[in-house]
Amino acid sequence: MNGYTSPNIFGSRPWEVVQVQQAIRDVGGTVYAEIGSTYGGSYWAFGSCLPVGSLLLSVDRPLVDTEGSVAEAVAYMRARHYDPRMVQGDSHAATTLEQAVAVLGGRPIDVLFIDGDHGEAGVQQDVDMYASLVRDGGLVIFHDCGMVDQQPSFPDVLRGPREAFRKFAVGRLSLLIQQWVGYGLVWK
Ligand SMILES: C[S@@+](CC[C@H](N)C(=O)[O-])C[C@H]1O[C@@H](n2cnc3c(N)ncnc32)[C@H](O)[C@@H]1O
pLDDT digits (tens, 9 = 90+) for 73-88: 999 999 999 999 999 9
Q: Does 36 sit in the ligand 1 pocket, CB within 6 Å?
A: yes
**pLDDT tops 90 at residue 152:** no
| Mutation to probe ligand 1, out of 115, 123, 130, 143 (largest number of atoms < 8 A from CB) | 115
Residue 27, CA distances (Å) to 63, 138, 140, 186 in order:
30, 7, 11, 11
| Mutation to probe ligand 1, out of 56, 60, 113, 127 (largest number of atoms < 8 A from CB) | 60
Domain boundaries, the chain: 14-187
Superfamily of domain 14-187: Vaccinia Virus protein VP39 (3.40.50.150)
Output the CA 71–ligand 1 centroid distance in Å: 14
pLDDT digits (tens, 9 = 90+) for 106-139: 999 999 999 999 999 999 999 999 999 999 999 9
Orientation angle between helical segments 120-130 and 155-169, nearest 10 degrees: 30
In this prediction, residue 1 carries a pLDDT of 52
